[in-house]
Amino acid sequence: MQSHTVVSQQEWLAARRALLAREKELTHARDEISRLRRDLPWVRIDKPYVFDTPQGKQSLAQLFGTRSQLVINHFMLAPGWKDGCIGCSFAADHVEGMLPHLAQRDVAYVAVSRAPLAEIETYKARMGWHFAWVSSFGSDFNFDFNVSFRPEDLAPGRKVTYNYELTEAGIEELPGYSVFTRDDSGAVFHTYSSFGRGAEALLTTYALLDMTPKGREENGPHHNLMDWVKRHDEYATAAAAAACCHGAAAS
């Protein structure tokens, strides 16, 4: 670990109080952003999206269950992929403890991927997750919400819309979250979507790492979670492989 300044308790308290003032500024700014997010206008969803679920075919409105609000995790798992996206898997590991609390606040949570349901179920079982996860295979849903891209969209020099700007996708799936509400008549409205680092606040592992002296230690080559995160069932294998390589190098 990098050497650090060591001071008296009194000096530390002065530095901590100065930082606390900045932290409170951030908290108040976040509260204001949340208010503005809730005040965004809505878009009515009239397109008849249909999803494959363990309970059979369901419409977007049916994914709400008995709730009036729905959070959809656009989970990167395309048809034929053996594994789900590492970052999406990392985020999904944070979900299950939230589910009863979200339900108490009238919120349903559903992951949606373009992979066929059987492929989703296989990966879900491997990871040991229990949240609702459905397939949009054969639907325009992922494409309409700019998280999946067709082969022609990935042609060299071709740009797509992602995170509200034109960019080169580079891959057929990208992550995001979308929020919907349903009124008493059953009409569904899109209220919010966030992409890229916009949903980073959901990663409580990051929140705790950011409190530690070493922080995230994402020092390259990617300078993001791809520097270290693995699917939770792969850490032991990776550690064993690293130990083996270290032993071989030492010999």
| Averaged pLDDT, 84-91 | 97
Asked if residue 129 and residue 21 are part of one domain, the reply reads no
Asked if residue 87 and residue 145 are part of one domain, the reply reads yes
Domain annotation covers residue 110: yes
Asked if residue 114 and residue 24 are part of one domain, the reply reads no
Residue-range definition of the domain harbouring residue 130? 43-201
Count of domains observed in the chain: 2
Report the chain's mean pLDDT, rounded to a whole number. 94
Instruction: Give the integer Cα–Cα distance in Å for 100 and 78.
Output: 29
Alpha carbons within 13 A on the beta-carbon side of 128: 6
B/e letters for 15-43, b = 16+ CB within 10 Å, e = fewer, are eeeeeeeeeeeeeeeeeeeeeeeeeeeee
Domain annotation covers residue 95: yes
Asked if residue 159 and residue 125 are part of one domain, the reply reads yes
Binned at pLDDT 50, 70 and 90, residue 248 comes out as low
Asked if residue 177 and residue 134 are part of one domain, the reply reads yes
How many other C-beta atoms can be found within 10 angstroms of the C-beta atom of residue 209?
Answer: 14
Of 183, 201, 219, the residue that ends a domain is 201
Domain annotation covers residue 185: yes
The structure tokens listed for 185 are 């008549």
Asked if residue 117 and residue 21 are part of one domain, the reply reads no
User: What's the predicted TM-score (pTM) here?
Assistant: 0.92
Digit-coded pLDDT (tens) for 25-53 = 999 999 999 999 999 999 999 999 999 99
Q: In the predicted model, is pLDDT for residue 180 greater than 90?
A: yes
Digit-coded pLDDT (tens) for 111-140 = 999 999 999 999 999 999 999 999 999 999
How many other C-beta atoms can be found within 10 angstroms of the C-beta atom of residue 72?
Answer: 25
Asked if residue 20 and residue 137 are part of one domain, the reply reads no
Alpha carbons within 13 A on the beta-carbon side of 9: 0
Digit-coded pLDDT (tens) for 182-219 = 999 999 999 999 999 999 999 999 999 999 999 999 99
- Give the H or E element holding residue 180: strand 176-182
Domain annotation covers residue 143: yes
B/e letters for 145-175, b = 16+ CB within 10 Å, e = fewer, are bbbbbeeeeeeeeeebebeeeeeebeebbbb
Q: In this predicted structure, what is the pLDDT of residue 236?
A: 85
- C-alpha dist (Å) from residue 130 to 4, 76, 125: 43, 17, 8
In the three-class reduction of DSSP (H, G, I as helix; E, B as strand; rest coil), residue 36 is classed as: helix
Binned at pLDDT 50, 70 and 90, residue 238 comes out as confident
